[in-house]
């Protein structure tokens, strides 16, 4: 449905602002109301995930085929770098015991949610305000029915492209594993007895490493696609698999 004219921008705004407002809400709900906090957290993650989905969909509207790799890799890299800047603020609050006692331990958590929401607004605003959808489908009377019809046609046609089909299946399981590691890493670290401060420092280091390597990955990416060779991609996946198994 987002392929209709201006619909992509509307969906992006809807999910992004939902995530932002609910992140703010996490800072004001009392910790005793854990059911409400859990519900707000789930909805905020839906807002975040949906916002990312439509943010990624804008790639074809802001870059042509020659620019796409560079824009995508730079966007990922700058996202990690921006995350480092916000994370330094969180870490400073944690290491200084709430800026010298100005904030309680719960106050530090509240402060972190507020900073995260404000950070989100600042860096999402340029796209929310100035993003324009260049590609769209013709408007119809019933967008929902038409979207479902086009989805069915896509599934019918994709059978003709076996490599694309297997790639999508493989990517589904791959990215689900990656996201699981992202979301569960700190929880597993806590279960292993790692203290909160150490976990935050580790996350900061991961962000710092991810920024330059996102850009380096782009330098190798186009050559792989053009030549059809995948040995270095296979090596990256094997290294990633080894690290995951070793961490187990």
Q: Which residue range(s) make up the domain with 181? A: 7-209
pLDDT tens across 143-169, in order? 778 888 888 888 888 878 888 888 888
Determine the pLDDT at residue 221: 54
237 domain residue, yes or no:
no
Determine the pLDDT at residue 178: 85
150 domain residue, yes or no:
yes
168 domain residue, yes or no:
yes
Determine the pLDDT at residue 35: 92
Structure tokens given for 218: 């782009």
216 domain residue, yes or no:
no
Residues in the chain, pLDDT under 50 = 223-229
Q: How many domains does the structure of the chain reveal?
A: 1
214 domain residue, yes or no:
no
220 domain residue, yes or no:
no
Determine the pLDDT at residue 118: 93
Q: What is the value of pTM for the model shown?
A: 0.78
Q: What percentage of the chain exceeds 90 in pLDDT?
A: 18
Q: d(Cα 124, Cα 136) in Å, to the nearest integer?
A: 22
90 domain residue, yes or no:
yes
Nearest in space to 156 (alpha carbons), one of 56, 167, 148: 148
241 domain residue, yes or no:
no
């Amino acid at each position: 449905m987002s392929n209709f004219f201006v619909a992509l921008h509307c969906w992006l705004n809807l999910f992004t602002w939902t995530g932002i407002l609910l992140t703010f809400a996490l800072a004001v709900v009392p910790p005793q109301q854990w059911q409400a906090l859990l519900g707000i957290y789930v909805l905020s993650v839906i807002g975040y995930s949906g916002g990312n989905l439509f943010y990624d969909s804008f790639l074809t509207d802001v870059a042509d085929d020659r620019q796409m790799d560079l824009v995508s890799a730079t966007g990922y890299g700058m996202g990690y770098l921006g995350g480092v800047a916000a994370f330094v603020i969180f870490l400073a609050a944690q290491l200084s015991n709430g800026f010298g006692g100005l904030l309680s331990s719960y106050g530090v958590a509240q402060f972190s949610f507020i900073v995260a929401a404000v950070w989100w607004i600042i860096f999402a605003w340029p796209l929310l305000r100035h993003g324009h959808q260049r590609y769209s489908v013709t408007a119809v009377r019933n967008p929902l029915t038409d979207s479902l019809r086009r989805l069915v046609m896509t599934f019918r046609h994709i059978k003709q492209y076996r490599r694309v089909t297997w790639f999508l299946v493989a990517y589904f399981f791959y990215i689900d594993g990656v996201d699981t590691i992202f979301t569960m890493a700190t929880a597993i670290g806590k279960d292993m007895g790692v203290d909160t401060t150490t976990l935050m420092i580790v996350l900061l280091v991961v962000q710092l490493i991810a920024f330059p390597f996102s850009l380096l990955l782009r330098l190798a990416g186009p050559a792989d696609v053009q030549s059809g060779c995948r040995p270095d991609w296979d090596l990256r996946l094997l290294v990633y698999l080894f690290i995951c198994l070793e961490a187990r």
